[in-house]
């Protein structure tokens, strides 16, 4: 089924790559807009409505990291980062700024389309929460599933989409140990090989927001050699 009326913003300065991405997405029914530099891309992302941003890291004027950081202040729509580099530090930095996924050039156009579809579908499912679901309360932590809000001792903390998804998954499965691979598959829904770093980054960011002492967490605990466990 083609994704009619779903809009993707491509921020890419290489015209041939941008055209290839656009053509494959339009074949699948997506509406596509291309911005050839960071300034134009950021302006479009902040002032127009899109369902996903396909963001090259090395665009001129404003780089992809800064674009991601500024967009995340305003919206939680999926951001798929694209780069010619294959360095873990870039991946960790991108995930830390709120990117949802990472794809390295050269890539298969069919893989790109599959990832775009998966992230838009997942985002729509997660933002259409069932208002009948109860809140989760654990030792001062309150998670409202319908409004997707999180409070610590009555004070709201702001989480990105993936941070909220990961935290709520943990809270729904207290005292169970999950490996990084399992968590990536459950939350991102894609092949987790080589992408475990994003789980570590997201857990670290969640801890900074909800834990009183990140060195001795009372909610998300590291089980060395196994993964993570949410203490219920």
> The domain that contains 182 carries what CATH number?
1.10.10.10
Position 83 in a domain: yes
Residues 12 and 97 in one domain: yes
Position 157 in a domain: yes
Note down pLDDT in tens along the chain; length 232 residues.
Answer: 455 579 999 999 999 999 999 999 999 999 999 999 999 999 999 999 999 999 998 898 998 889 998 998 888 889 998 877 666 666 677 777 788 888 888 888 888 899 899 888 888 876 665 544 568 888 889 988 878 889 998 889 999 888 999 999 998 888 889 988 888 888 877 554 446 778 888 999 999 999 989 888 999 999 888 889 998 7
Note whether 162 and 100 are within 8 A (CB): yes
Residues 157 and 225 in one domain: yes
| pLDDT at site 41 | 94
Residues 156 and 52 in one domain: no
Q: What is the dihedral of CA 167, 169, 171, 173, to 10 degrees?
A: -150
Position 178 in a domain: yes
Residues 122 and 158 in one domain: no
> The domain that contains 20 carries what CATH number?
3.40.50.2300
Residues 185 and 224 in one domain: yes
Examine the fold and report which residue of 66, 93, 127 is the final residue of a domain before the chain moves on.
127
Examine the fold and report which residue of 97, 127, 157 is the final residue of a domain before the chain moves on.
127
Residues 86 and 160 in one domain: no
| pLDDT at site 182 | 84
Residues 150 and 119 in one domain: no
Position 121 in a domain: yes
Q: Which tokens go with 131? A: 């208002």
Position 45 in a domain: yes
Structure pTM? 0.60
Q: Which tokens go with 123? A: 């985002």
| pLDDT at site 85 | 63
Residues 21 and 114 in one domain: yes
Residues 149 and 123 in one domain: no
Q: Which tokens go with 75? A: 């919206």
d(CA 131, CA 212) in angstroms, rounded, equals 30
Examine the fold and report which residue of 127, 153, 168 is the final residue of a domain before the chain moves on.
127
Position 117 in a domain: yes
d(CA 140, CA 131) in angstroms, rounded, equals 22
Position 50 in a domain: yes
SS (H, E, C) the chain: CCCCCCEEEEECCCHHHHHHHHHHHHHCCCEEEEECCHHHHHHHHHHCCCCEEEEECCCCCCCHHHHHHHHHCCCCCCEEEEECCCCHHHHHHHHHCCCCEEEECCCCHHHHHHHHHHHHHHHHHHHCCCCCCCCEEECCEEEECCCCEEEECCEEECCCHHHHHHHHHHHHCCCCEECHHHHHHHHHCCCCCCCCHHHHHHHHHHHHHHCCCCCCCCCEEEECCCEEEECC
Position 1 in a domain: no
Sign of CA dihedral 92, 94, 98, 100: negative
Residues 205 and 100 in one domain: no
Looking at the structure of the chain, the number of domains it has is 2
Residues 99 and 182 in one domain: no
Structural domain of residue 216, as residue ranges? Answer: 136-230
| pLDDT at site 193 | 45
From the number of C-beta atoms within 10 Å of its C-beta (0-12, 13-18, 19+), residue 117 rates as middle
């Amino acid at each position: 089924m083609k994704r009619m009326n779903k809009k993707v913003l491509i921020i890419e300065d290489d015209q041939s790559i941008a055209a290839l991405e656009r053509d494959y997405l339009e074949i699948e029914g997506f509406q596509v807009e291309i911005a050839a530099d960071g300034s134009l891309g950021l302006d479009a992302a902040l002032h127009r409505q899109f369902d996903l941003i396909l963001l090259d890291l090395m665009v001129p004027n404003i780089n992809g990291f800064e674009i991601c950081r500024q967009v995340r202040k305003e919206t939680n729509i999926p951001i798929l980062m694209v780069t010619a580099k294959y360095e873990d530090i870039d991946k960790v930095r991108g995930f830390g700024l709120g990117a949802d996924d990472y794809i390295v050039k050269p890539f298969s156009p069919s893989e790109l389309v599959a990832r775009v579809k998966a992230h838009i579908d997942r985002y729509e499912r997660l933002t259409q929460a069932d208002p009948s679901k109860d809140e989760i309360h654990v030792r001062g932590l309150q998670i409202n599933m319908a409004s997707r809000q999180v409070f610590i001792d009555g004070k709201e903390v702001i989480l990105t989409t993936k941070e909220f998804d990961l935290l709520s998954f943990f809270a729904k499965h207290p005292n169970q140990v999950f490996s990084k691979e399992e968590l990536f598959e459950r939350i991102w829904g894609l092949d987790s090989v080589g992408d475990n770093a994003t789980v570590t980054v997201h857990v670290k960011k969640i801890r900074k927001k909800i834990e009183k002492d990140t060195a001795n967490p009372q909610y998300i605990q590291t089980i060395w050699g196994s993964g993570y466990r949410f203490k219920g």
